Every structure is written in C-alpha cells, then in structure tokens.
Amino acid sequence: VTLEARAGDTPLAADTLAQEVAWASRILAMHGYEDMTLGHVSVRGDDERTIYIKRKGVALGEVTPSDIVAVDLDSDPDNLAEGLHLETVLHTEVYKRRPDVRSVVHGHPPHATAFGATDAQFAYLTHDSVLFIDGILTYDGVPDLIMDARQGALVAQALGEGSALLLRNHGVLLAERDLRWAVLAAVLLERATQLQAIASTLGPLHPIPKELLAGIHSVKYQAGFAGEYWNAWLRELRRSGRAFDMPGEGG
C-alpha cells in the first residue's frame, strides 16, 4: 500500500500508522525539528485508546517504522515502557483530554522555541501565520522537561481547545485532527516565527488586517491541502536521499 494511494478515511493497521509516524518524523527533521535524538510525533489509532509514538534514542531524521511504539492510554502514565521518551506524557495527557485530537507533535525547533522564550506577541505577518488564526497559546509552567502525568495534564490544560502551544523556554506542541495537519502546523509554526524574526529586524511589523484573516484561512488551508503538501515532502525526502531504511525505498 503506498501512502499516496490511501483514501483519507480508511481504517489504518498498526504497521501503516508506524510507517506514517516514521515519515512524519523525517519531514519534521527536514524542517527545523532535528535536535539530537529529541522531539517526537504520535498518532491515535482507530481503537481510540492506542497511540503510536517514536521511541527514545533515534534522531527524527533516521526514524523507521520499527522505532514506533504502541502506548495504551489506559496504562499507568507514570510507568511507561522503557525506551519511550521521558516526555511521552505530553502526548498521552493531550489525547486523554481531547478526543478530537488524532496527532501530536512536540519538538524544539530554533525559531519557535526562541520565540517562546520572549514576551513577543505572535503577529499575523504571512500566510504561514494565518494557519494559526485561533491563536497561539502558551504554557507558562515550569520550564522543566514534562515527565509525569500531572505535568502533562497541566500542559494539556494550557492547550485547552487550541492546536498550537508554546512551552516557555522549552519548545512547542501541536495537536491536530490528523498526522498530516499536525506536521503541517509544526512546519508552519517554525516558519511563521522565523519570518516574524526576520521581519522584526527589517522595520516595524505590518500585520495582515484582522478582518482579512478568516478569508485567507478558508482559501489557503482547505481540508485536502495537507495531503498535497505531505506528498510533496515525501518526494523531497526521496530526492534528497533522506528516505533511507524506509520500507520499499531500497538502500
């Protein structure tokens, strides 16, 4: 089964989900999320109670389907299997609180992470920023790693009904309707904050008028577009030799 050929609403087997999470990891690596072996992405399975998440110890850019671990949301959140990221609770607590969320990304991309270490306000400067029409939220709790369920629940609470969260002095968290949208949001949050950083050095900011945001959003971020961008990223990974060790890729 090729990912491109899959229809949007077909139930997915665990191995297909693992493959998708591996591709997502590599896309994120290509777009600013590579940080040693840190950063992770997950997806919710069709049974609603199992999530599939990257394990600890491999870099995003080298993740393969065998690095994806199934985690039962009903298991003891403070005693997750060995080999999982310490911050897996960021994912589990968001999924528990938000039945609508089917994919979560956490990472430390330089521009968005730096942005979250300031009091700067997110500005709607570019089309990338318009994806975040509902605002960017901030978790103002301790800047530690989020390692226990209680802390994870506080982060989930800060996210509320939103989809993009800055963890102060730490990184970012995206929670979306599916894996493709989570990856798109993660890439665009990094890009929007990068462009805001560049714009800030050039002159006073000139944001898009508020009343135009909804119109741009509805045209630019139509439901099917995330899949189109996803397929382009897969082609880019293959062209640039970054699809190694993935099923069906040879070499």
Residue 159 vs 226, nearer CB to Zn ion = 159
Instruction: Supply the minimum distance, in Å, between the C-beta of residue 64 and Zn ion.
Output: 22
Residue 176 has φ and ψ, to the nearest 5°, of -135, 175
Binding range to Zn ion, per CB under 5 A, among 77-85, 117-125, 170-178, 223-231: 170-178
Collect contacts of 48-53 with beta carbons under 8 A, ≥24 apart: 48/99, 49/73, 49/74, 50/14, 51/91, 51/92, 51/95, 52/14, 52/17, 52/18, 52/21, 53/21, 53/84, 53/85, 53/88, 53/91
Binding range to Zn ion, per CB under 5 A, among 27-35, 61-69, 70-78, 168-176: 168-176
Dist CA 115 CA 3 (whole Å): 34
Residue 144 vs 249, nearer CB to Zn ion = 144
Please list the alpha-helical segments (H only) found in 31-138. 88-97, 110-115, 127-130
Instruction: Supply the minimum distance, in Å, between the C-beta of residue 18 and Zn ion.
Output: 22
Residue 133 vs 147, nearer CB to Zn ion = 147
Residue 141 vs 207, nearer CB to Zn ion = 141
Using the rule CB under 5 A, is 109 a contact of Zn ion? no
Cβ pair 110, 48 in contact under 8 A:
no
Q: Which two tokens stand for residue 249?
A: 């890729």
Instruction: Supply the minimum distance, in Å, between the C-beta of residue 87 and Zn ion.
Output: 5
Residue number of the CB closest to Zn ion reads 171
Instruction: Supply the minimum distance, in Å, between the C-beta of residue 32 and Zn ion.
Output: 14
Among positions 171, 187, 191, 243, the unique one binding Zn ion when judged by CB under 5 A: 171
Instruction: Supply the minimum distance, in Å, between the C-beta of residue 189 and Zn ion.
Output: 15
Residue 12 vs 164, nearer CB to Zn ion = 164
Dist CA 236 CA 205 (whole Å): 33
DSSP string computed for 184-228:
HHHHHHHHHHHHHHHHHHHSS--PPPHHHHHHHHHHHT-TTHHHH
Instruction: Supply the minimum distance, in Å, between the C-beta of residue 108 and Zn ion.
Output: 6
Count of chain residues binding Zn ion (CB under 5 A)? 1
Binding range to Zn ion, per CB under 5 A, among 64-72, 171-179, 204-212, 228-236: 171-179
For residue 117, is it left (φ>0), alpha (ψ between -120 and 50) or beta? Answer: alpha
Q: Which of residues 29-88 bind Zn ion (CB under 5 A)?
A: none
* Interface ranges with Zn ion (CB under 5 A): 171
